[in-house]
Structure 1
Amino acid sequence: MRHVLVVKPCCLGDALMATPVLRALRTTYPDMTIDIAVTAWAAPAFDGHPAVRRLVPYPERPTLPRFFRLAQRLRAERYDAALGLDRSPWVGLLLWASGIPVRAGLAAGWRGLLYTHRVPPRPGRHESEQYLAVAARLGAVPRGLEPEFIVPEPIARAIRERVRHFRRPLIVIHPGGAINPGSRLLAKRWPPERFALVADRLTQVWGSTIILVGVATDRDATASVLAHARTPLIDWTDQLSWSELAALLAEADLFIGNDTGAGHLAAAVGTPTVSIFGPTSPLLYRPLGPKSVVIAPPASWELREPRDLRRLSTIADRLDISQVHVDQVVEAASRLLQGEQGTA
């Protein structure tokens, strides 16, 4: 098997959770060429990855004509095998229509009929482990669960210079997220005034520099944090590319944010990370890394199956992200900073 397609359409955090599969394939089969079918939104997660030969554009909005045009293109590539790392039936249909002879996918029931090797999702198993179970059908041997992202050296150098004179510890806070193409799930956002309180308390104790980050759709969240904070914060909202954000996170002493792709990116570059969850499952989606901590309501840890929040009109009180208190986040952040910097 020398020519393999991996399909992971969306989103940034999910794409990063698939990078352990790339590491497993690369180390098990050093001569294998790997293409990834991914949407433009999630494509930055794979930028510069040493295992990836090429990114294949995947439709942002699935329609049968778009999928069959893509299937024709994939058929011409004559892939030896494919991995479908998504539960969507569109992925299985695409690979079936592409005529790829060996198709391993994350699917159960009738969707599994579209694959030659199907792996039913296991309740309570982290997504990265689910994906690696699919890759194992091609004989790939896991090499850890942590995500990975390679920061281009020129970008790393530029960010290092930009933060060189900032007071340490350097803390990056991402108070937004949860807005992707076709979805707006603001129940995943912790209240911005609480991020402001966390920033104030950490600055008071540690004398830290705190940078707020996010994309254009996060401006309301970062603006609210700035309005509520009593200490000066640096606002880099919508100023960084994905690779520049990765470089900043690699320089930071700590990252704090919601259940978003930025938390997985922080884990991928080895940054101590505090992630705040509520209506989504930390068991399935938490950033994986030796310095990654999740704060969530106890009930969130009981969620063992994916949930489509777009289909929920209300979030149960026991899963409300506001159940997470400022003290919990400050204590977790302080423990990580003590491990990095010594006792305050």
Structure 2
Amino acid sequence: MVQTRDDILSLLEAKGAQVAKEAQRGVILQPGALGDCILTLPLVKVMTEALGLGGVDLVGHSEYIGILPGRSCVSSVRSIDSTELHRLFVEPAKFDLADRDPLINTFADYAWIVTFLGEPDGPFEQNLIFTANCSHSAEIITLSLKPPQDAGRHVAEHYVHQFARQSSLPPDQAKVATVEPLIQVTAADRERGLEMVEQMGIDVSRRLVVIHPGSGGRHKCWHIANFLDVARTLRDREIEVLFLLGPAEVERFESMDKARLYATARCAAHLPLSRVVDLLACADAFLGNDSGVTHLAAGMGLRTIAMFGPTDPALYQPIGPAVTVLQDPHDRFTRQPCPDLQKVVAEGLAAPPQSPATA
């Protein structure tokens, strides 16, 4: 088939339009903690693919988002503390920008700006629109960080649904996928993790289960005796166990409880998030409460058992291809051991790799 001059021009125009579209970028302002940032990744993926963007950046707390570039669909990150976003909260009548204002440069490269800060039509959004329009025309969308009580959908779906509604995306392009890990582990992550656990005296020829017994809220923490008994059961089956303790656990747990943890299995405390990634990259399974680290483990594709008490797993359960959620909504969740549930957890974690627990 011979192409005419008009056909060739049409092809060139279409190609040029596609290149221009892919050159556009998006950014998300996400002020939340680790779990919130990980549950934002499906939105990043939808924006990138459905809008054909050349990349989506994330502005948030660097201690939570620094691990994402190179391992996820996030192109690059910027610390929320490195910008002057607080200036956007003033009343629009009092908001002012000087020539070459740093705020203008912050948003000059983005065709799509999504913010979890401020309210729709509020001062922050109005000032953000004004700031972006000082350099170019951009789409500004404000999303709510927490879903309403009657939302009836997972928080990640809530993010994507809000965005799709405001950007007029068709429903088939606004779906949250759970079959693939949100965070891709690298060979370097695994190598560093293996080196770390070997230095701790862990036998790398055995399976390793990482247990994180803490959370940001006390009401989310399964009674510590449950974690200790599960750890003992696993060790009796010659499975290595490592307790992962963050600053909240080190500060909150009683001295006696910390002594029991260290007496039961090896413990790793105060690890930066990058080192937690290394550790999880070489683990075989993970047990934790409704916490950011549990979302991280699940997002990395690690076989994960997440313990839920009063919070609703339908809204907040971790996303991953190998997640099992177990819930005990009774008062005993934080106050006393539950031997029956311990057995279920231990069996799930001890299951051979070829028969992983499923959600």
TM class, shorter-length: 0.7 to 0.9
Deviation at 1:167, TM superposition (A): 5.0
Amino acid at match of 2:348: R
Query: What's the secondary structure of 2:318's corresponding residue?
Result: coil
Moved more, 166-175 or 23-32: 23-32
Match of 2:188 in 1: 154
Superposed displacement of residue 264, structure 1? 0.7
CA separation of 1:104 and 1:13: change in aligned 2, threshold 3 A = same
Mapping of residues 228-239 of structure 1, within 5 Å: 228=260, 232-238=264-270
Q: Structure 1 residues 28 and 158, CA, compared in 2 at 3 Å: closer, same or farther?
A: same
Checking the alignment, whether the CA contact within 8 Å between 2:189 and 2:281 is kept in structure 1 is no
Give the direction of change, closer, same or farther, for the CA distance of 1:267–1:251 in structure 2 (3 Å limit). Answer: same
Residues in 2 aligned to 1:337 and 1:191: alpha-carbon distance in whole angstroms: 20
- Cα–Cα, structure 1 residues 153 and 278, in superposed 2: closer, same or farther, change >3 Å? same
Q: What are the within-5 Å matches in structure 2 for residues 1-344 of structure 1?
A: 2-44=24-66, 46-49=68-71, 51-59=73-81, 64-65=86-87, 67=89, 73-76=102-105, 77-78=107-108, 79-85=110-116, 89=119, 93-99=123-129, 100=132, 101-107=138-144, 123-136=151-164, 137-138=166-167, 139=169, 141-142=174-175, 144-145=177-178, 148-163=182-197, 165-166=203-204, 168-178=206-216, 185-204=217-236, 206-220=237-251, 221=253, 224-228=256-260, 232-238=264-270, 240-298=271-329, 317=331, 321-322=334-335, 325-340=338-353
Measured in 1, the distance between the counterparts of 2:182 and 2:70 equals 11
C-alpha contact 1:199 1:229 (8 A) present in aligned 2: no
Please state whether the residue corresponding to 1:236 is helix, strand or coil.
strand
Stretches of structure 1 that go unaligned for 5 or more consecutive residues are 109-118, 179-184, 300-316
CA-atom RMSD, angstroms?
Answer: 3.6
| More off after superposition, 63-72 vs 256-265 | 63-72
List alignment gaps of at least 5 residues for structure 2.
1-20, 133-137
Per the normalisation by structure 1, the TM-score is 0.74
Distance of 2:183 and 2:263 partners within structure 1: 32
> % of aligned pairs identical?
25
What's the CA shift for 1:10? 1.0
TM-score, with length taken from structure 2: 0.71
CA 1:174–1:265 in 2, change beyond 3 Å: closer, same or farther?
same
Residues 111-159 of structure 1: CA distance to partner in whole angstroms, max 9, x if unpaired? xxxxxxxx98861211111112134244354361466223454332121
Shift of 1:57: 2.8
Change (3 A) 1:168 1:282: same
Cα gap change, 1:191 to 1:255, in 2 (>3 Å): same
Q: Can you list the C-alpha shifts for 1:51-96, whole angstroms capped at 9, x where unaligned?
A: 4343233259x9954756999644433332222346x539964343
Displacement of 1:98 in angstroms is: 1.5
Task: Give me the whole-angstrom Cα distance separating, in 2, the residues matched to 1:341 and 1:225.
Answer: 34
Distance in 2 between the 1:37 and 1:342 partners?
39
Is the 8 Å Cα contact of residues 35 and 52 (structure 1) preserved in structure 2? Answer: yes
1:295: Cα distance to partner?
A: 2.1
- In the alignment of these two chains, the number of paired residues is 305
**1:156 and 1:30 mapped to 2: Cα distance?**
32
State the AA in 1 paired with 2:219: A
